[in-house]
Structure 1
Amino acid sequence: MVDKVLTANRLTDGVAVWLNAAGQWTTSLQEAIVARHAEAVDALEQIGKQSYADNKVVDVNVVEVKETNGVIWPLRLRERIRAEGPTMEYAANYRAADPEFIAV
């Protein structure tokens, strides 16, 4: 089985967030809890459904990741961009994503 994390967008501002081990939504992918078996993925999905029902987040998804040397890497480019930010500088306080992190 491929490792997975739970991601969503915060309802208040649309920022990408990930569920951490404390059950909180964090803006850092590296703080996300990683599900390594089917039962853990099922638990993440249930938490996501409840967070959606509680109007905390929208667009809840379980996404595939791999962990290398303690760094969580989403397998899909879309998720790497969501984790790191935009691919170019476009506004104050928004830095461009690390090109090595989002490289295919």
Structure 2
Amino acid sequence: MARDFTPKVVTASDLLEGDVIYLKADDGWSRDLAEAEVITDEAHAQLRLLDAERLANKVVGAYLADIAPSGSGPQPVHFREDFRRRGPSNYPHGKQQDLPRTPTR
């Protein structure tokens, strides 16, 4: 029995800056998961991944990531994707640059 297809987004790393990026429906890239194209068909997902892999001069490591659609945009279903979308885990650069610093002991 075939499993249901889990919705996906195409994600990669920006070749020059290293940031996590997501493929949008208009073939552009965004650093915001909320702007990513949510793919609900397996064949379409494979085609979109091929599209991304052809852009080796712009992106590296493209792959399909499982997501859960929500009212506020796609949400990661795996810890790794949740961690990646938040940006670097060290301060003060990347997506976390504007976050308040927590005191260290």
Compute the TM-score of the two structures, normalised by the length of structure 1: 0.79
The structure 2 residue matched to 1:27, chosen from 17, 26, 31, is 31
| Secondary structure at 2:8 match in 1 | strand
Q: Provide structure 1 residue ranges, at least 5 long, that are not aligned to the other structure.
A: 97-104
Answer yes or no: is 1:60 the counterpart of 2:96: no
Identify if the C-alpha distance between structure 1 residues 70 and 49 changes in structure 2 by more than 3 Å, giving closer, same or farther.
Answer: same
Q: Provide structure 2 residue ranges, at least 5 long, that are not aligned to the other structure.
A: 100-105
Aligned-pair RMSD on alpha carbons?
1.7
Kindly indicate whether the alpha-carbon contact (under 8 Å) linking 1:19 and 1:26 is maintained by their aligned counterparts in 2.
yes
C-alpha deviation, 1:27, in angstroms: 0.6
Q: What does residue 42 of structure 2 align with?
A: 38
Q: What does residue 77 of structure 1 align with?
A: 79
Higher share of residues assigned strand: 1
Compute the TM-score of the two structures, normalised by the length of structure 2: 0.79
The structure 2 residue matched to 1:14, chosen from 18, 25, 29, is 18
Higher share of residues assigned helix: 1
Moved over 2 A (4+): 84-87
User: What is the rounded CA distance, in whole Å, between the counterparts of 1:83 and 1:30 in structure 2?
Assistant: 10
Instruction: Output the amino acid matched with 1:83.
Output: R
Q: Name the larger-Rg structure.
A: 2
Deviations 1:41-100 (A, max 9, x none): 111111121112xx110111110001122421111111111112345x62156245xxxx
Instruction: Output the amino acid matched with 1:85.
Output: G
% same residue? 26
